Structure 1
Amino acid sequence: MRTASLTSLAAVLALGVALPAIAAGNTITGNTVGPDNAPKTLTFRMTTDGPRNNDPAVADGYGKLFREYVARHPGWKVELQMMSGDIGQEQARLLEQAKSGNAPDCAAVDSFVLPLFKKSGVLQSFAPYFNKDEIDQLFPFIREGITGTDGKIYAWWWATDLRVLYRNKAVIAEAPQTWDDTKTAALASVKQGMEGILFNGGRFEGTTFDWLANFWAEGGKLVDDAGKPIFGEGENRAKFVKAVDYYRGLVESGAAPKRVATIGNYDDFNAAAAAGTTALFVGGNWQLAQLKSTLDAGDFANWTFSMLPGPTKEQRSTGTGGWTVASFSKDPAKVEMCANLAREIYMGPANALQEQLPTRADLYDKYPVFATEANKAFAAALKVGQARPGAPVYPEISNQIQIMMGKVLTGSQPTEAAVDDAFKAATDAFKRL
């Protein structure tokens, strides 16, 4: 979900501008890790979770991990392929390439589209490369997400995340516990010259995922056990409409600016916090570290976070996402190298480097960074976390929710009509699967 920072890098790559080396010699160049004359090459398509990260410290950290990785595997080099910032489009392209046999050997696959890749049969099994103890340490929703119908694992889900409510406590002293509290707090900040609460509302997967916590907090379900959409039926429809109206009410009351209908970028929230134009936003746990590096110490001290509010204080949920590493190669040696990359770079070391929450329970004790009060609070919030359903129709449900949200937040269509349209489109998509 951390996709916004890819945009400027993608523009550079599109223009064919050479990226500078980040290590002396040719160990890591613009798109290659390892010696130029290595006889074997592993192609790896990645997000900015790697040596091309925009944060120099993170890029250097990944550079070290990748150099150590190739040093442990003589005769290999890694060719880095960068994704653009449009993750939905990138993942759709990756799936089509995999179906036609033109995918990279190894790639980052977003957890929310992993069911589509599994259903298509394009992933190679990682079962030989991870032992039972390692798999058993995965959180249940993680383990379920990477396991195929044959009981084998087909990816390694290395990091998870969650959504929280950030606030400037110098403006909003108490953490809002309910939807009504949130509206009241946001309106109070507006009276102090701020925009009110910010959240993703544009055509962006984050729009769906961030908002879904409100529906889940009510006990709503998107699909049934067969993966069929049910969010527009019976009690689920009533809960869905209520959760959509919560966001609609924020905009119509002025508690949220109308521009949220166009926001599809978590970096917008960091920028607003830095500019002092907002005191409240829905964001990801990773943004705490970003705020720390963006704001001066005095301003950062005013920012904190809390669990997402619910319709009542007792009804809470949050979305849990994250990235996986998977292999598409028919070459067993390359499949093993991809699994090694997941194990040696991402399973633990990368979690600690970027403070991205591990998916293995035992790693929280292994790395001191996860013993901080903030990370303990994030881990506690995971107890009410919910992953997107492992149903092939989910991406289309998400697409329709994004379209629906645009209609609702701009006031161009009544909530119930927009919800019914989204449900019909999602149901039609399910029938085509």
Structure 2
Amino acid sequence: MISKSKVVLSVMLAIGLLAGCGSKGDHAQPQAGSSVAPKEEKVSITFWRNSGNDAENSAYDKLVASFNEAHPNIKVEMSPIPFADYDTKVRTAIASGNPPDIMAIDGPNMASYAQAGALQPLTAYFKKDGNLEDIPESTIATYTYNNEIYMAPLTESSIALFYNKKMFEAKGIPLPSKNPEEPWTWDQVLDAAKKLNDPAKGVYGIDPAQGFGNAGGTAYFKYPIIWQFGGEIMSPDGTTSKGYLDKPETKKALQFFSDLYNEHKVSSLEYPPDAFPNGQLAITVDGSWSLGNLADKFPNFKLGEDYDIAPLPKETQQAVANGSWSLAISSKSKNADAAWQFVNWVTGAEGAKTYTSITKDIPARYSVANEVPELNEYPMNIFVVQNQKFGRPRPITPIFPQMSEAVNKMIEEVTIGGRNLDTAVAEAINKIDRAYDSLPKK
């Protein structure tokens, strides 16, 4: 969950100012391969993470216990923190100069922590024994800022096109391919949505991006549409949106999205609860995590009979957002080498295999995904292949929250408010550039 932009910015400023000042806690950064501690001295490592579901908690409990047993000179003390409180608690601890050694951070927030000097670079550790070639380059790029890797990925998620198979068959519409590399175009999706749309009977053609809500969350669904049309949101260095958010391809994507609601009227600003499994929504874009939810809550709405899954549509190219909660080491840690041993234990191939076997998440590593048969078969192969071959980082920028708010508001104003597209884009660029300019200078 992303905090309100003004609050996040003020806290980031505080962190940035703190990072720019000397303190008694400052120390030279440890290097990969240096001594962890004298053999007779037991090192205690603090690890904070957001409290997850039962499966996630069980997986972490198992990994911490196995690490502590295998490393008698290192003790990891894990603190699960409620999700609603987590981000604030971590930022407060960093600002006060007393952060945990290891912390879980959501991918898009990495750059704000790294820019503030709160994270230990992990590049040297990865090159030493992190098995970088086992992780997709696009995934590593998500956790890289100013040419340094700052976080170690454990799992990934992905989204795809869910469609009501029986509705398609009733209308005689050919079904999309299940091949992850053979997506429909957006024009094909629009054509099907028009044929299936029947508002008089309470049936809507498509929900293209999980409606309108939290900016950080909807970015995960809306940015791929921009990329699929060949557009961009920010510069590769994350400093400006000028020349990117106002690209013709970006504007074409934004206009297409708005037209789904306003010209073609195949999308609605509001849908009934559980519209897709209840037969009131013909096509939707949803995540791999929804498969379990549909099976549990709607057992009579069956995959392969009532609905099926296809890769995300494309216009000029395939694209999907990547990046999930991953592990980082504090720049203040006095035991960074020991902390890396634990991070590598959890996110390495064996740890990831243990974790994902319990949680059923998609592993970030090729080797782990290759070993799980169901990840190489329909429907999970669609999510896995899309992520590995067509995954893209959301903009890597220390102003991600402010950028997300600006882009989300722009899309809402154009789609819901009918605002002129060029005017809305120009204002969003101005907001984003002002936010970046307001960062503390080092």
Provide the rounded CA distance (Å) in 2 between the counterparts of 1:249 and 1:323: 34
1:46-66 CA distances to partner (integer Å, 9 max, x unpaired)? Answer: 152xxxx0xx55655555445
Contact 2:275 2:281 (C-alpha < 8 Å) held by counterparts: yes
2:156 alignment partner AA = T
Q: How does 1:15-164 map to 2 (within 5 A)?
A: 40=44, 42-48=46-52, 53=53, 56=54, 60-72=58-70, 76-84=76-84, 91=87, 94-95=90-91, 97-126=93-122, 130=126, 131-132=128-129, 134-147=131-144, 149=146, 153-164=149-160
Write the letter of the residue equivalent to 2:353.
G
- How much does 1:338 deviate? 6.5
Partner deviation per Cα, 1:2-39 (whole Å, 9 max, x = no partner)? 99xxxxxxxxxxxxxxxxxxxxxxxxxxxxxxxxxx99
Cα 1:330/1:233, change in 2 over 3 Å: closer
- Give the deviation of 1:99 after TM superposition: 3.4
**Structure 2 regions of 5+ residues with no counterpart?**
4-41, 170-174, 177-182
Are 2:142 and 2:323, in contact at CA under 8 Å, matched by a contact in 1? no
Query: Is 1:170 aligned to 2:154, yes or no?
Result: no
Q: How does 1:4-403 map to 2 (within 5 A)?
A: 40=44, 42-48=46-52, 53=53, 56=54, 60-72=58-70, 76-84=76-84, 91=87, 94-95=90-91, 97-126=93-122, 130=126, 131-132=128-129, 134-147=131-144, 149=146, 153-173=149-169, 174-175=175-176, 177-191=184-198, 193-198=202-207, 199-230=210-241, 232-233=242-243, 236-252=246-262, 253-259=264-270, 271-296=274-299, 298-301=301-304, 302-311=306-315, 314-328=316-330, 330-333=332-335, 336-337=338-339, 339-341=341-343, 343-344=345-346, 347-382=352-387, 383-403=389-409
How many residue pairs were aligned?
A: 377
For residue 150 of structure 2, give the secondary structure of its aligned residue in structure 1: coil
CA contact (8 A) 2:134 2:365 kept: yes
* 1:239-294 Cα deviation digits (max 9, x unpaired): 2222112221111233111227xxxxxxx98x333433323211223322332333
TM-score (normalised: structure 1): 0.75
CA distance in 2, matches of 1:69, 1:132: 17
Which range moved further: 400-409 or 386-395? Answer: 386-395
Tell me, in whole angstroms, the C-alpha distance in 2 between the residues paired with 1:171 and 1:333: 58
In the superposition, relative to structure 1, how do residues 259 and 47 fare at CA in structure 2: closer, same or farther (>3 Å)?
Answer: farther
Cα deviations across residues 352-405 of structure 1 (Å, max 9, x unaligned)?
A: 333322222222223334233323222322322211232324432212111112
Q: Once the two structures are superposed, what CA deviation does each residue of 1:165-208 show, in whole Å capped at 9, x if it has no partner?
A: 11121123523822233233334333253233222322331222
Question: Does structure 1 conserve the Cα–Cα contact (< 8 Å) formed by 2:100 and 2:333?
Answer: no
Q: Is the 8 A contact 1:42 1:334 kept in 2?
A: no
Contact map agreement 1:118 1:148 (CA 8 A) in 2: yes
Equivalent of residue 413 in structure 1, options 416, 419, 422: 419
Provide the rounded CA distance (Å) in 1 between the counterparts of 2:167 and 2:368: 36
CA contact (8 A) 1:217 1:310 kept: yes
Percent identity reads: 21
Q: Say if 1:133 and 1:391 are closer, same or farther in 2 by CA, change over 3 A.
A: same
The AA in structure 2 aligned to 1:215 is I
Task: Quote the Cα distance in structure 1 between the aligned partners of 2:156 and 2:286.
Answer: 14
- For residues 216 and 254 of structure 1, what CA distance do their matches in structure 2 show? 23
Q: Please give the alpha-carbon distance, in whole angstroms, between the structure 2 residues aligned to 1:340 and 1:371.
A: 29
Whether the aligned pair in 2 keeps the contact of 1:105 and 1:335 (CA below 8 Å) is: no
